[in-house]
Amino acid sequence: MAATLLRGEVPCILQAAEYPQYRGAYRPPGVPLAEVRRGPYDGQRGAVLRTPDGTLPATLVFAAGRIVYALDREQDGTATYRYAPALSPAHRALMDAVAEQYAEHHMKKETGR
The model's pLDDT over 14-71, given as tens digits with 9 standing for 90+, comes to: 999 999 999 999 999 989 999 999 999 999 999 999 999 999 999 999 999 999 999 9
Q: Could you tell me the pLDDT band of residue 1, with boundaries at 50, 70 and 90? A: very low
Q: Which domain range does residue 65 map to? A: 9-111
Structural domains of the chain, count: 1
pLDDT tens-place string over residues 70-90: 999 999 999 999 999 999 999
Q: Over 90: is that where the pLDDT of 3 sits?
A: no
- Give CA–CA dist 71/58, Å, rounded: 5
For residue 2, being part of any structural domain is answered with: no
For residue 1, being part of any structural domain is answered with: no
